[in-house]
């Protein structure tokens, strides 16, 4: 007979408590990046002026720059980064593929193709008008990728990753073809397709806020089941986890999150791929910690890249999608090399 585990409740809490300092440090770093996003740009604004502008005590040119340009840019960056970070963690969890992300599953490419077609066919020119086309394109691409991955009614994770990659390449080629049909489409679409937080009004956030919040709730609710999926389908089913339904729910969460993010800022690459790999060495592979960690790491990476893009060629700036692609390409190469060993 074994002795009762009197210390079980305390022991059950200890892993979470042990990681509290890491979460607090991450939140502090995120707050610092948000502050830098409000301060730095073509012209730096003193932190005191930023504070006065936010509380309505300043009304000059610098205050307008903060409230009308940098504050919306920062808020949208927080929302987009959180969505992409969590979407990447869920995508890697349901596919059991460390290279999975909204980009490799074809979701970003689907959103981009839908927006370019809308610009060409309907003459759209306002980012607020892109929102639902981008979201619809992301959802359609995800559904098509899942259809390609189904085998005997089940969703095969390897086929999902491969199908998403093939779909991404096809959609990118179609997008390029549509952009070349006329000069206006090329001029309007190339800025959005680069992935940018610049010039985005807060109006692009409100239409997708419900889907963004729903995606985050679903992702957090699925995190215990994603731990079971990591053991393999047979082991997960033996534990009573409905594998097919969890994968379907996870796919819906990825669509909701990535579609919302792409609708707001365009197809920003590598945040969804990098955030989980940044968090895992710190918090481990437990998705109950990994998903909330990516909720912090995603916006931290995106805002840091956006601030960097404003400084490297000052007084001009690089779009955040260009910065993340430049920094993320070596990361993807390293990860691919590690996975194929």
153-188 pLDDT tens trace: 556 666 777 788 888 889 989 998 888 888 877 777
pLDDT tens string 103-118: 888 888 898 899 889 8
Q: What CATH code is carried by the domain that includes residue 203? A: 1.10.3470.10
* Domain range enclosing 212: 31-91+99-340
Residue 189 within a domain: yes
Is it the case that residue 332 has pLDDT exceeding 70? no
The average pLDDT across 7-14 equals 47
Is it the case that residue 336 has pLDDT exceeding 70? no
Residue 78 within a domain: yes
pLDDT tens string 268-293: 888 998 899 989 989 989 999 999 99
Residue 146 within a domain: yes
Predicted confidence band at 1 (pLDDT cuts at 50, 70, 90)? very low
Please give the pLDDT value at position 157. 65
Please give the pLDDT value at position 330. 76
Please give the pLDDT value at position 2. 44
Is it the case that residue 35 has pLDDT exceeding 90? yes
Predicted confidence band at 212 (pLDDT cuts at 50, 70, 90)? very high
Residue 12 within a domain: no
Please give the pLDDT value at position 121. 87
Q: What share of the chain is helix, strand, coil (3-state, %, to 5)?
A: 75, 0, 20
166 or 214, higher pLDDT:
214
DSSP states of 279-307 as a string?
Answer: HHHHH-S-HHHHHHHHHHHHHHHHHHHHH
| Euclidean distance between CA atoms 69 and 79, whole angstroms | 16
* Segments in the chain forming alpha helices (H): 8-18, 20-39, 47-54, 61-64, 71-95, 107-122, 127-149, 157-179, 183-193, 209-229, 233-238, 243-265, 271-283, 287-311, 320-340
Residue 14 within a domain: no
Residue 284 within a domain: yes
Is it the case that residue 92 has pLDDT exceeding 60? yes
Question: Of 50-59, 72-81, 279-288, which range is least confident?
Answer: 50-59
How crowded is residue 311: how many other Cβ atoms within 10 Å of its Cβ? 14
Please give the pLDDT value at position 288. 92
Is it the case that residue 313 has pLDDT exceeding 90? no
Predicted confidence band at 11 (pLDDT cuts at 50, 70, 90)? very low
Residue 18 within a domain: no
Please give the pLDDT value at position 10. 44
150 or 84, higher pLDDT:
84
Question: Of 7-11, 132-136, 150-154, which range is least confident?
Answer: 7-11
Residue 6 within a domain: no
86 or 52, higher pLDDT:
86
Number of domains in the chain: 1
Q: Give the global pTM.
A: 0.88
Predicted confidence band at 81 (pLDDT cuts at 50, 70, 90)? very high
């Amino acid at each position: 007979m074994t002795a009762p585990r009197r210390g079980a409740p305390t022991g059950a809490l200890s892993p979470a408590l042990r990681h509290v300092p890491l979460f607090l440090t991450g939140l502090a770093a995120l707050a610092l990046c948000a502050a830098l996003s409000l301060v730095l740009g073509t012209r730096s604004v003193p932190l005191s002026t930023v504070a006065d502008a936010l509380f309505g005590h300043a009304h000059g040119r610098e205050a307008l720059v903060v409230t009308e340009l940098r504050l919306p840019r920062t808020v949208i960056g927080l929302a987009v980064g959180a969505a992409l970070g969590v979407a990447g963690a869920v995508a890697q969890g349901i596919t059991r593929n460390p290279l999975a992300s909204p980009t490799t599953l074809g979701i970003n490419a689907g959103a981009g193709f839908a927006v370019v077609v809308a610009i060409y066919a309907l003459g759209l020119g306002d980012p607020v008008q892109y929102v639902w086309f981008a979201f619809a394109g992301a959802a359609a691409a995800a559904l098509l990728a899942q259809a390609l991955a189904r085998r005997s009614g089940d969703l095969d994770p390897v086929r999902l990753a491969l199908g998403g990659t093939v779909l991404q390449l096809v959609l990118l080629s179609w997008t390029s073809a549509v952009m070349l049909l006329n000069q206006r489409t090329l001029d309007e679409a190339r800025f959005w397709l680069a992935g940018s937080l610049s010039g985005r009004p807060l109006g692009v956030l409100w239409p997708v806020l419900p889907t963004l919040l729903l995606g985050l709730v679903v992702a957090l609710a699925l995190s215990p089941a994603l731990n079971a999926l990591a053991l393999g389908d047979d082991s997960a089913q033996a534990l009573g986890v409905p594998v097919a339904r969890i994968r379907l729910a996870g796919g819906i969460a990825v669509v909701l999150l990535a579609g919302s993010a792409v609708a707001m800022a365009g197809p920003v690459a590598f945040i969804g791929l990098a955030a989980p790999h940044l968090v895992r060495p710190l918090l481990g592979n437990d998705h109950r910690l990994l998903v909330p960690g990516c909720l912090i790491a995603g916006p931290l990476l995106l805002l840091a890249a956006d601030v960097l893009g404003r400084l490297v060629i000052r007084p001009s700036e690089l779009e955040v999608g260009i910065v993340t692609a430049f920094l993320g390409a070596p990361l993807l190469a390293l990860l691919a090399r590690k996975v194929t060993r």
